[in-house]
Chains A and B, each alone.
Chain A
Amino acid sequence: MKVFEQGWRVAALLAVVTIVEYIFALNVGNDQVRFIGLGVAAVAKAGMIGAYFMHFMRMFEHAEAH
């Protein structure tokens, strides 16, 4: 089903960002660049989880009772 596929797509994206984050941290020598890069990656991952897994926007919808 499409809804399940969406979960796996987001998960794959999160896994890719996590591994990129790991490689980036091990290979970038400049502390400031590494700090900013890791911060951006963390905010991006948190945004994806909040939007797709935690359904942040459902707060503003008139959904049916759960």
Chain B
Amino acid sequence: MAVITFGPPAHDLPNRAQINRVGLWLFFFSEAILFGLLLSARFFLEGIHRAQVNQFLGLIITIILLLSSVSAFTAETAIEHDRRRLASAMLLVTIFLGMVFAVGVGFEWATAEFHRKEAFGTVFFTMTGIHATHVVTGVLMLSLAWAQLRRGKYSSKSHWPISGTVMYWHFVDVVWVFYYPALYLVS
């Protein structure tokens, strides 16, 4: 009996990994709207003016976040090549660097010379606060991925949770790429 099928040929259908990837990118675009609105609010309220911030600390935590992106990339690449021990070590490094970044932001908050009631204080604490919340969420997700990796759950053929978490981590890094100059360097 002949079977008639409708729709595109099977080889044209996206696989599960592609669907996951597109879904995650759509999530990033929606998140970008939130972060973009905060960025525009910063310039709307204060123009390019900024209060005194700790320039050295800003540069250090930026470099730490960039380094964490490299370790996250290495972890993802390692699991793609079935190098689980390297992937595990690099995930741990990423988690550690993420925590150092969060502590750095906390230190900046504790020593800030401006108040949250000032316009710059409002945007600074809101922007860094929401970003730091994403960093902490990323650290928690990376920790879960690391725990699952240690249980032997992932391999070169099945590692989407690690790839997805690492992509999220890179997205958090991209946001900081825009926030760092807007908060620390303009003016």
Contact = CB atoms under 8 A, between A and B. Distances in A.
Contacts, number: 105
Interface residues of B, number: 41
A55 B25 CA distance: 11
The binding surface of chain B is classed by DSSP as: helix
The binding surface of chain A is classed by DSSP as: helix
Contacts of B173: 49, 53
B17 A66 contact: yes
B178 A62 contact: no
Interface residues of A, number: 38
Given A25-B185, A53-B170, A61-B18, 20 more contacts: A4-B74, A7-B70, A7-B77, A8-B70, A10-B70, A11-B67, A11-B69, A18-B59, A22-B185, A34-B185, A38-B185, A38-B186, A49-B69, A58-B21, A59-B18, A59-B21, A63-B18, A65-B15, A66-B158, A66-B160
Interface of A: 1, 3-4, 7-8, 10-11, 14-15, 18, 21-22, 25-26, 31, 34-35, 38-39, 41-42, 45-46, 49-50, 52-56, 58-59, 61-66
